[in-house]
Structure 1
């Protein structure tokens, strides 16, 4: 018998939903890369399109795990030495976490987790399109000044001039992504039909064929890109070398009135520098769903700074994405318990080495 410790975000304040806005979600069988969606064996343990990413949803895992003699502990309590997570960690065989409500496996925690088998896997591509759609939505909301206009309508107002005084078309604008992996490429593909001029920076240059297909301009440095772009997207991994790299000096290189979207990691940005850039007008808008720290305290300046489009960390956990990453988690667990290989596309660390997607996206320090 194995013990599986799963950390998920809390249930809705109003309680677990008894009914949903839609009766079903589209069935997706493959991702743009050609990789198939998760293929677990047997029943899923959940209804696709329902809330399974919160504590009560349990990723639909309980029936499968308990029917095979395993123990499942699901909690949102993850902070502090006396948290439910820390109390169960020493005898956990498997830990399941997620970026939206993460339980960080620090060196100190790993030292206490004597039974963990230290391979790291993710359900690769399960929510990449979800995040890319959130980026495009945020760009349109910021550039078209949608959020203040919606708030005016909601509050009974009708001053058109106030709404459009900060509203522009994205057609003809220059868009650049700092990072062109799965999500960055998906954003570029979705923005091409809007007739934006597309730019990218990435340590790994994309194939010539893809650059020509999307009409991409490659930049050898982030600074080169931000100097010419009206809208900039952050899709950069968080390393010690990238933490806080979007600071006052870097923001000064942007075009005045540029927009910045960040769905990668909040700590890529200097918190106060972002607020200052919005207040001064160096940035016309900032949006995304990643904060530092998370959950953000009520007095976090990104909650109150002008012209922002921030949300909680939700871009990759739509109900559609939940169905895919829950199915992928089940597939990984089934293979692990049956002694079968886990999909190479899912592996981040195996045998003490970065592999697969991990080898491309991360580095050991």
Structure 2
């Protein structure tokens, strides 16, 4: 492809070096340095000048921003699977395609779900804090008592790629798998995972020992775990969220944890992005992580490879393999 016909691509954050290098080889690319979030003005400038924008979850690509896009912008190749930060319908109405990177982080995120379950139930952060502060005075029969996860009922909210990866791991730990989904899975998939389906989310929540949120954030899942539903959860239950913070009413969850109506929580995502409810930080029965569920070197490179394939396919005149359309959301 002649240099003058190469697509002009703007990347909003730093990506793995191998990914950035390949992008430079294939396209006319503006890389982000230093690795800080683009301001609103910088994003507006980018969409006015580029053929392809490569944003991530920290970039809000809404209707107002898309209204400022130039005629050149024809593809938003998102670096990540979730696209709730992009107004896909408006983009489509303006002739702008949107692609994402589905499936890459399923195994990594599932690992983190299990880490959070163990962290909360076995009180691992409390033990680490005690050791690091030099407060440990020795072993005691009743010291640091947590719980056994084998035999517990795990309710998975959203049994897609990540949810199924969680189910396989949880079965290996001896847990019983239950799930609620927009659509019931095939009988053979249920049999493989030994999973029990609940059409009623309310009924499932009232019976589970651990609840793992693994569904995307869409208008229909906003505050899916609201104050009413969180009241259904057993006082001995634990809530895990590695999906999107908006799926849970964070204030209601905090109230339930503080009142002892929920035994604990493990959170990797938050309703208001990086602004975490300060009351959550005060609770010893809560494990908080900085949105690192998919943060492995291998996963980040694979995400970048999917972005490159989507852009390259588009540049060759074809539909990107991971194109997102409003009907999918």
TM-score range, shorter chain: 0.7 to 0.9
1:200-244 Cα deviation digits (max 9, x unpaired): 000111111121222211101211111110000111222233222
**1:302, 1:332 → 2: CA distance?**
39
Matched, 1:3 2:12: no
1:26-58 Cα deviation digits (max 9, x unpaired): xxxxxxxxxxxxxxxxxxxxxxxxxxxxx2x45
Kept after mapping to 2: 8 A contact 1:242/1:268: yes
Matched, 1:103 2:79: no
Which residue of the partner structure matches residue 156 of structure 2?
A: 177
**1:66, 1:211 → 2: CA distance?**
44
1:114-148 Cα deviation digits (max 9, x unpaired): 23212221222111111111101110111111110
What TM-score do the two structures reach when normalised by structure 1?
0.76
Q: Structure 1: any 5+ residue segments left out of the alignment?
A: 9-54
Mean Cα displacement is larger for which, 114-123 or 144-153? 114-123
How many pairs align? Answer: 300
**1:136, 1:195 → 2: CA distance?**
12
Which residue of the partner structure matches residue 30 of structure 1?
A: none
Kept after mapping to 1: 8 A contact 2:242/2:267: yes
Q: CA deviation at 1:341?
A: 4.4
1:180-219 Cα deviation digits (max 9, x unpaired): 0111111001111111111000011111112122221110
* Cα distance change of structure 1 residues 126 and 209 upon mapping to structure 2, 3 Å threshold: same
**2:142, 2:31 → 1: CA distance?**
49
Which residue of the partner structure matches residue 309 of structure 1?
A: 287
Could you say which structure has the greater relative contact order, defined with CA pairs below 8 angstroms and 6 or more residues apart? 1
**1:289, 1:249 → 2: CA distance?**
23
Match of residue 195, structure 2, among 216, 235, 238: 216
Kept after mapping to 1: 8 A contact 2:164/2:193: no
SS of 1:172 mapped into structure 2: coil
SS of 1:321 mapped into structure 2: helix
Kept after mapping to 2: 8 A contact 1:173/1:230: yes
Which residue of the partner structure matches residue 86 of structure 2?
A: none
Which residue of the partner structure matches residue 323 of structure 2?
A: 347
Across the aligned residues of Structure 1 and Structure 2, the Cα RMSD in angstroms comes to 2.2
